[in-house]
Structure 1
């Protein structure tokens, strides 16, 4: 019987790599690999060549291939880039079939083969709808009764309006639509999305005031957020997130940080973060390249790209801000080219304009305003570390320590420049207009507390030397006033729902402890030479909002004992409330307690 060969609709790239092809031109696999310009169907040798259908308006990718560089331009080799040019000119008739096969082999084919030999799939996709998902997404989704659909929608709307500024790794309008689909067809979402769903619930339940939750018909149980947190982690493992990579898994990990640290699970969170970085790299989120207008790109593709930028820079920010405390980092700037997120609205109608993200002025508030300042600070922290490492160990030169301190002073000046050039609504004593969000004051004071902590981060190695050697005295002059001001501002915030959310941030708890401890150190270490910037009365007594009040901080700790206990702060405040008398008392406490060491890791 004669066999009839059907014409293959798969593209040549997918056929060569034995990948599942969406059979559109360009196909989804080539779009995800950023090689849409090479996507084409194999021509039937018995027929004349036919033009490729022009459907770019429906399937065009926003990832525009890089333009050729001029001969005089310096280039840096890009790892895993298989879009290199091939020799021009048609092969002669004398070329053997082997030569023609070599001409079609990608430059990185050998590397791909090595990856496959090691059991690692190098060909990854940002969309894994065609991959088998863990059975948990179907079984648990059908049985999940934590919150009803209307309750989830109300909670996510509140999250969108009042909590997104804290992280901004999830596009809430898209996520709310996905929640609607989930409740209409339980089990329709993939396992990693279920992990993200529970992470969003955990984040929201933890940071929203119980009265607000009650108005939504949600029981504000103390353990409900922790339950969702545990279900999220279980969903990650059930979805086999370390094998089946998805941006939902990375977003989930980013959100779990905010609850996990407050639950005292910092070791687990640090490992999850490392996994998140590696998964993001596997999804090529670190290689998105510069933003280029593409009028033919679909709106959702542009939104998804912006979400990838936000998520990647969240990981970068977390990695670099901890450099001063562990003297190392995971992500090197020479190994990624994903630009910082745009200052844009989340409303799709205002977010996308003529094939590109509509960038707003920095003085126009968006959900990205808060994190954009922290992104700039994280870059400064990395640059400072890089410069200090280039100087070598301080003992190798007579003035090695002073050279390092020179870099600290330089970083201090640049950090003040960042503060001075922040958006106007984050500046001290700025006017709060009605069109700003209701939580703008909490965002501003929380940001200032974080910046005070970054001054400490830069100067931390010279904290004690600043009391011993006048050469380093600028450290306490620089750090203590801003710590005092920011601490007073956070403690004097109005007692409302937005302050509740801000004070539940794990960073706020850690930064309050750090600021209070250094102010007390100044009191103790300066008693002998009477050089303290603040005296006992100013620290321990209060005559109004203009004074720093240690007792008020201690009362805040007692009200939120569980949160502060998770970062090892209770014993610190017990010690502070007893009023240490001298340097010996302080050193004895440090010898007996490890909690201060834990605090300094934040």
Structure 2
């Protein structure tokens, strides 16, 4: 028999005869309908609760008394409108905590009755989502066919172990340590066990038990291991059959393309790339580091990976504490710690690449206010395996001191640098605003202070001029490579911050010290890392450093009154420029002539430009004192120097135009892509995201001359400077005003006007 339903207004309680307060007043609708915002028929039990078979839980809340009307003052104009004197929310604030508590209680009861899971703890990542594309039964045939292709393309087991070892020893820092070394080695052994089976069909059926995202990780590990494996000229190479086999695979370039293509097919989702699990996000980060796809594809991978990471809750991990359980050897706790920390590393690896990419786009997708995940712990991967000795007084896994080198040392410092890059994007803004000298001066001082704090906080093994790790063995051998990669990005950011002051003596002196360090360390890195020694961005940084030193020599010509120390400094600067020229020449000779012809031409033009400018500087320094005695007009000297430099650049342009006239017609005349290499699609590992995404880091940026200037009109003044040259020969921001693409806006060029008044 259905329960008897009461009409609205009837209550379950009756007033006591001795009381004069009357019956309790209840709400018209039941509490469940009010909480779920359903239309209640106001009966007990209501129709909505009866439909859900929970009529016994249908109750009504006691009505909260309304606040008394506030006293009002009569209107001056005599109308009926009245203005309240007291705040209308005076009584509402007292009842709001009670209402919110009741609302939370109702939500918990609803979840319990509806068998819904409770809210997850904020320090835990969500479980991996299944890939619906490969989970569909009709695609099992396609999955087996793909696994057979993978089996046919995989090299021998010993070579797989070698390439995986290269990934863990030489690639973890640039990768952001998104793989846990012991866990990855264990999974790799399982992967190899499947490949050891005698029959191909047995191997395919065994691989069917491994997720496709994990297989994609192993394939991308082979790609990166092949790229980072030492060449014969790099320390660590040994003449073994496996080493020669690696050189054979790398020379053909077919295997790397095949493995990369198979990895992308393994990550196929219902609509686009699948990034709903930790292994899929690890593979996506590997694809971003590999950098062999076109920029638009890499942007899609980055955005998809960020969306997948948010779906797993990696952006809301907060100050996740890794508590050590009382019982030793807890495998579930170890897996939970590893998953949480790897999720944090993955999130920050995506954040760093998103903020670096924002230099080109002018915006970024991840705003600091939209996530609260802490930075990765400064620990080794072995510290996450329980039992561990890295435990604080609260029973949580603790960090190692920053002064101690770990495999996370570079990652932590690179993330600090990424924060500074984001601040520079925020200051610049999405739209270029009219120049405001006062505001831009404050911006410059703020960024310069942040930069100084970053450099001052570097550990001893990453300091400028440090030689720690040059003769080390084991994990310490990664220190010189990590230090060089970090210094390259520091130099790029420092030069961008101070390029407006290069025409002042103080600005040149501050840049010259770091420029000399860049040139000195380039020779060391060539013998330590296969990828670093062949990066286009590394050559660009080398040219920029030499160009800064040449500018310092030309802006401070030698005179008879120079002291011995000044002459010694000039001699050291010349030696460093010559060293940079020789390094560029050696790099050009070591490169295979059949590959990257446009890049070879760019390197040759850089060498020719530095040699011509050095010759011009030597001639000018000898005639400076005599020219100053012959004329008192320094403006004439300025025009003379500018005309000489212009002649050097124009001669290089005419030489290049004669040999590649057809190629130059299709080039963009933007300041940010002055060389042919910018249009031929040279793809290389994105080891320096802070530089590869910086539109101001080109070979000719700091010469500030348009390489392809428009000819002067017939009615133009012969003494007028051509468009894009600016009023000062080496003002690094004058050409940017005419830039039509994503060139770095001149938000830090506040000293340009002051520099233009300085005389040579």
TM-score by length of 1: 0.67
**Counterparts of 1:23-102 in structure 2 under 5 Å?**
87=103
Distance 1:534 1:281 in 2: 58
The residue number in structure 2 matching 1:140 is 146
Q: 2:364 aligns with which of 329, 335, 349?
A: 329
Q: Radius of gyration: which is bigger?
A: 2
Contact 1:345 1:366 in 2 (8 A): yes
Deviations 1:268-296 (A, max 9, x none): 32332222222222222212221224345
Q: Does 1:500 align with 2:530?
A: yes
Look up the match of 2:86.
none
Alpha-carbon distance change, 564 to 442 in structure 1, aligned in 2, over 3 angstroms: farther
Distance 1:303 1:256 in 2: 22
Aligned partners of 1:560 and 1:264: how far apart in 2? 22
Q: 1:341 aligns with which of 352, 359, 376?
A: 376
SS in 2 for 1:500: coil
Task: Please say if 1:171 is aligned against 2:180.
Answer: yes
- For residues 300 and 578 of structure 1, the distance between their equivalents in structure 2, rounded to whole angstroms, comes to 57
Q: Which runs of 5+ in 1 are unaligned?
A: 1-43, 46-83, 92-98, 110-122
Q: Which residue of 2 aligns with 1:455?
A: 494
Alignment partners' CA distance in 2, 1:343 and 1:383: 23
Deviation at 1:576, TM superposition (A): 2.0
Match of 1:246 in 2: 277
Deviation digits for residues 370-394 of structure 1 (CA, Å, limit 9, x no counterpart): 111010011122123324449x855
1:441 aligns with 2:470: no
1:303 to partner: Cα distance: 0.6
TM-superposed deviation, 1:402:
4.7
Q: CA deviation at 1:164?
A: 1.8
Task: State the partner residue of 1:413.
Answer: 449
Shift of 1:500: 2.9
Provide the rounded CA distance (Å) in 2 between the counterparts of 1:538 and 1:164: 40
* Structure 1 position 208, deviation (Å): 0.7
Unaligned stretches of 5+ residues in structure 2: 1-52, 55-99, 120-124, 195-202, 326-331, 559-565, 614-644, 654-667, 679-691, 698-760
Q: Is the 8 A contact 1:313 1:340 kept in 2?
A: yes
User: Which stretch of the first structure deviates more once superposed, 519-528 or 432-441?
Assistant: 519-528
Q: 1:556 aligns with which of 579, 587, 590?
A: 587
Alignment of 1:334-373 (within 5 A): 334-347=369-382, 348-349=384-385, 352=388, 356-373=396-413
Tell me the SS of whatever aligns to 2:403: coil
Residues of 2 paired with 1:482 and 1:525: CA distance? 13
Q: How does 1:277-292 map to 2 (within 5 A)?
A: 277-292=306-321
Give yes or no for contact 1:344–1:360 (8 Å, CA) kept in 2: yes
Contact between 2:344 and 2:373, CA under 8 Å: does it hold in 1?
A: yes
The two structures, once aligned, show a CA RMSD in angstroms of: 4.4
The 1:351–1:502 alpha-carbon spacing in structure 2 relative to 1, beyond 3 Å, is: farther
After TM superposition, give the deviation of residue 546 of structure 1 in Å: 9.7
Contact 1:165 1:370 in 2 (8 A): yes
Asked if the contact 2:511–2:548 (Cα under 8 Å) also holds between the matched residues in 1, the reply is no
Equivalent residue, structure 2, for 1:65 = none
Q: 1:446 to 1:295 in 2, by over 3 A?
A: closer
SS of match in other structure, 1:87: helix
Partner SS for 2:477:
coil
Q: Is the 8 A contact 1:351 1:358 kept in 2?
A: no
What are the Cα deviations for residues 323-363 of structure 1, in whole angstroms up to 9, with x where unaligned?
A: 44443222111111111111111125478556744421112
Calculate the TM-score normalised by the size of structure 2.
0.55
Are the aligned partners of 1:137 and 1:189 in contact in 2 as well (CA < 8 Å)? Answer: no
Could you tell which deviates more after superposition, 337-346 or 144-153?
A: 144-153
Asked if 1:232 is matched to 2:264, the reply is no
How far apart are the structure 1 equivalents of 2:594 and 2:516?
A: 22
Residue 104 of structure 1 deviates from its aligned partner by 6.3
The answer on 1:301 being equivalent to 2:327 is no
- Residue number among 158, 162, 167 corresponding to 1:154 in the alignment: 162
Query: Residue 317 of structure 1 contacts residue 378 of structure 1 at CA under 8 Å; is this kept in 2?
Result: yes
Q: 1:592 to 1:304 in 2, by over 3 A?
A: closer
Separation in structure 2 between the aligned mates of residue 362 and residue 309 of structure 1, nearest angstrom? 19
Mean CA deviation greater in 251-260 or 556-565: 556-565
1:486 matched to 2:512? The reply is no
The structure-2 alpha-carbon separation of the partners of 1:350 and 1:104, relative to structure 1 and needing over 3 Å to count, comes to closer
Are the structure 2 counterparts of residues 300 and 90 from structure 1 closer, same or farther at C-alpha, using a change threshold of 3 Å?
Answer: closer
Q: 1:489 to 1:238 in 2, by over 3 A?
A: closer
Match of 2:550 in 1: 523
Verify the 8 A CA contact 2:410 2:486 in the aligned structure 1.
yes
Q: In structure 2, do the counterparts of structure 1 residues 537 and 565 end up closer, same or farther at CA, with 3 Å as the change threshold?
A: farther
Moved more, 268-277 or 131-140: 131-140
Q: Which residue of 2 aligns with 1:194?
A: 215
Contact 2:356 2:421 in 1 (8 A): yes
Give 3-state SS (helix, strand or coil) of 2:247's partner.
Answer: coil
Q: 1:378 maps to what in 2?
A: 418
Following the alignment from structure 2 to structure 1, what is the Cα–Cα distance between the partners of residues 104 and 551? 75
Change (3 A) 1:479 1:314: farther
In structure 2, how many angstroms separate the alpha carbons of the residues matched to 1:563 and 1:346? Answer: 42
Alpha-carbon distance between aligned partners in 2 of 1:393 and 1:375, rounded to the nearest angstrom: 27
The answer to whether residue 564 in structure 2 is matched with residue 514 in structure 1 is no
Answering whether residue 130 of structure 2 is matched by residue 128 of structure 1, we say yes
1:301 is displaced (CA, Å) by 1.2
State the partner residue of 1:54.
none
Aligned residues: 480
